[in-house]
Amino acid sequence: MFRQMTSMKRQPLGQPSVRTLRGFKARGAVAGSHVHDEAQLIFAASGTMQVTTSSGRWLVPPQLAVWVPAGVPHRNEMLSDTEQWMIYWLAPAARAWAPSKLLDRAFALRVTPLLRELIFAAFDARANPDKAELLARLILHELTETPDAPTFLPLPSSVIGRRVADLVLADPWRQPGIDEISCRAATSARTVSRLFPAETGLTYKAWRQRARIVLAIEQLSRGKAIAEVAVETGFASTAAFSFAFRQVTAMTPTAFLDTSQDAQHELQCQAAERSHDEQRPEDRDQCVGQVGTNSPSSSVRTMRTMRSTVNAKEKVPRKVPA
């Protein structure tokens, strides 16, 4: 169930420039394609969701958020039990408050420590209108300063390109070469070679590999084991899967899962500290007790350091055939 909070200076018609909304969605819940008159920042405080637009799809684990401009049709799917935090800007406010780099496209981004604190503060019901407006402006600026996340799979825009993409996504285990997929899509290899860089920014081979990793992230988010996901996405071994995963995401599958778990725990603890009135005392005590300190960020950093030491020992071959 969602609880809505509104803030900001009121417009002439009484509509706030910014509103916030948060709540819980169970695994498997789907919000079919829909459009908002407002720009939207979707943040997964816990769990993983998938956001799809006409230009592609994003996997959004806890350390990521996705920006959807006003008027862009999108579809949301919960890959696991997910706590969503969403901030909406009226389109005129988003245009007026955003810096020179326009936020006119959908994209996913890593949630920096500053952005995370700004999001938490924006959901503070006690914030006065002036403070709330400053927070909303700062969030827009921070969005433009953060690089896009690697969990985006761009989709071709042409009929032929979509046909090729659909064939690959329908059977990720096979991973057909360009000649085979061209034949199955009733087109030529030259056409596929031309369309994919023009419409996705990736060669067909690079796009196919990105598709495998995005599908792998989806399966990992559903709780499947790394070895099982490696087989289901067509890799010859877990080592080959780890190598390819690292090429796309700059981390191993183990590190990705650890980062997701750490981010989820840190967010829960920080949320507990900021919402004494909204959480039961025993919940907060349990959260603090699990990390052994009143400073969750410090403990999480310690755990990450320990895991990084273990992950550094993982041997990833330089060249492993997929």
Per-residue pLDDT tens for 107-145? 888 888 899 899 988 887 566 778 888 899 999 999 887
Full set of structural domains in the chain with CATH: 2-145 (2.60.120.10), 152-250 (1.10.10.60), 254-312 (no CATH)
What whole-number distance in Å separates Cα of residue 42 and Cα of residue 45? 10
Q: Are the C-beta atoms of 272 and 283 separated by less than 8 Å?
A: yes
103 φ, ψ to 5°?
A: -95, 65
- Residue 14 is predicted with a pLDDT of 53
Q: Are the C-beta atoms of 82 and 24 separated by less than 8 Å?
A: yes
| 212, two tokens | 């495998």
Give the DSSP per-residue string, 13-76.
Answer: TS-EEEEEEEEEE-TT-EEEEE--SEEEEEEEEES-EEEEETTEEEEE-TTEEEEE-TT--EEE
Q: Are the C-beta atoms of 208 and 171 separated by less than 8 Å?
A: no
What whole-number distance in Å separates Cα of residue 291 and Cα of residue 287? 7
Per-residue pLDDT tens for 150-182? 788 889 999 999 999 999 988 877 888 999 999
| 24, two tokens | 């819980």
What whole-number distance in Å separates Cα of residue 234 and Cα of residue 24? 34
Per-residue pLDDT of the chain (322 residues; tens, 9 = 90+): 444 443 333 334 456 788 889 888 898 899 999 999 999 999 888 888 889 998 888 888 777 889 999 999 999 998 888 888 999 999 898 888 887 666 888 888 888 889 989 998 888 756 677 888 889 999 999 988 777 777 888 899 999 999 999 999 888 778 889 999 999 999 999 999 999 999 999 999 999 988 888 888 888 877 889 999 999 888 889 999 999 998 887 788 888 777 666 655 665 565 566 555 555 555 444 444 443 333 333 333 433 444 444 444 444 444 444 4
Q: Are the C-beta atoms of 16 and 39 separated by less than 8 Å?
A: no
The answer for 292, left when phi > 0, alpha when psi is -120 to 50, beta otherwise, is left
| 183, two tokens | 């034949």
